[in-house]
Each structure stands twice: as structure tokens, then as C-alpha cells.
Structure 1
């Protein structure tokens, strides 16, 4: 995938670190005061400490993996449509997500997520 902007490159590094479950590399793509939201505006996490707390348990999931379906880039805004494989209490499943990243000064400043309903089972190979 050819990267068309520095914003896209940052988001791609974030995705690679997420799939590698490398929490430190993942956090390094976010500004120290970055915020995560639901797409409707509810604050999910603010700053590295809250981002770490929200993600470190998830990064321990053995099947965690985000599969990028589509990416759109408009200046410093990157929109990813993904299917994420997760380990839910009921077993392995997937959840569809739309992720909107705003990148400034080479770091993700805000990330907003619309998260679909979990579906049990793995993505087809």
C-alpha cells in the first residue's frame, strides 16, 4: 500500500503496532494528550495513561488483529474501515469498526470510533 501523506503513514504505523500488540510502539503514534472518542462524541480515554489502561488488556488477547478493509485520506484526517478479531468472553469473534484519526505534528491527536455488534467466529481465510 503506497502511503499518500504523513498522516496516513502515522495511522499505518499505529495499525502495524496494534497488530503486533506492541503497546509502546502503538502509544508512540499518539500525542501525549491524545483523546479517543466514540464517534457520537463520548470520551473514551484522554492521555497516554488512559490510552494504555484501555488497551493493555486488549493487547493480551491472543487472537487480536485488525484487518483493514478500506482507507480514505483527506489532508490530516484518515478514516479506516476495519474488521477486528477479538477474544470475547464467549470466544473468538469479530467486530466491524470505522476509525477516524486526526493527525497533527506527526501524531494522532484524536481517534473516534463507531463499533458494530460483535459476531462470533473468525474471518474467512
Structure 2
């Protein structure tokens, strides 16, 4: 079960209802799996329409899913060896912080990403490189 958001019982107290949301960690992992598969549609499905992507500390790179699609579609097409491995992951509330090791066109990079998730979608990402 994912994050439990509400629990209630009926008046007799002999039945219980549990409402759960998909955890922020699960959403970010789905995003990572789609990234590694270079599946642009599955990748974008994890983001809100109003996604904001920043470079640390607070430089806005772009805003909105359409801008993200333009950026990542060509990137996925031009990087057949694209792969991201998570070295460490910290989850605090609705934030997921990943220490990443990336392979892009034969070169290796270290980076960190801070994802903020609301209502089952990633709404903000800050990259540290």
C-alpha cells in the first residue's frame, strides 16, 4: 500500500475504508524508469502540466510540460546509451532527493535532483550539478 491519506469506519464499526495515494517515491521511480527507457510519453505522464525545472539554487530553466517535451524528446532521441543510476535516495514528505550517476553519450556525470510531488505528479525539480 502507498501513502494512506484517510481511514474511516462505518457506524457499526465493523467495516473500514482506507484511501491511499501513490507515494512521491513511487512517482519519482516511475519517472526514472521512463527516463532510462527513453519513453517520452511515460516520462511526461509523471509531471504536472505546470512543471517548473530549476538549476540550483533557483534559476528557472523552463516551465510547463510542453517546454519539457521539447527539451527531452530530442535528448532521448540523441542519447541511445542514456542511463541514470540512483546512488542514494532520501524521501522527506512530498520531496524526493536523488543522488544520480548518469551516462550520456559515453560520458559519466554526477548530479543531484530534488523532486517535489503534489497530487500524484512532479510539480518542481531542482538539479544540482
Write out per-residue CA displacement over residues 36-70 of structure 1, whole angstroms, 9 at most, x where no aligned residue. Answer: 00021111121011101111121121110001101
Taking the TM superposition and a 5 Å limit, the aligned residue runs for 1:1-125 are: 6-60=23-77, 61-87=79-105, 92-115=106-129
Q: TM-score, normalised by structure 2?
A: 0.81
Aligned pairs, number: 109
Contact 1:45 1:54 in 2 (8 A): no
Give the SS at the match of 1:55: helix
Distance (whole Å) between structure 1 residues aligned to residue 76 and residue 26 of structure 2: 22
User: Can you give the 5+ residue segments of structure 2 that lack an aligned partner in the other structure?
Assistant: 4-21
Deviation at 1:23, TM superposition (A): 0.4
| Runs of 4+ with deviation above 2 angstroms | none
Cα RMSD (Å) of the superposition? Answer: 1.3
Write out per-residue CA displacement over residues 60-87 of structure 1, whole angstroms, 9 at most, x where no aligned residue. Answer: 2111000110100001000000011002
Quick check: which has more Rg, 1 or 2? Answer: 2
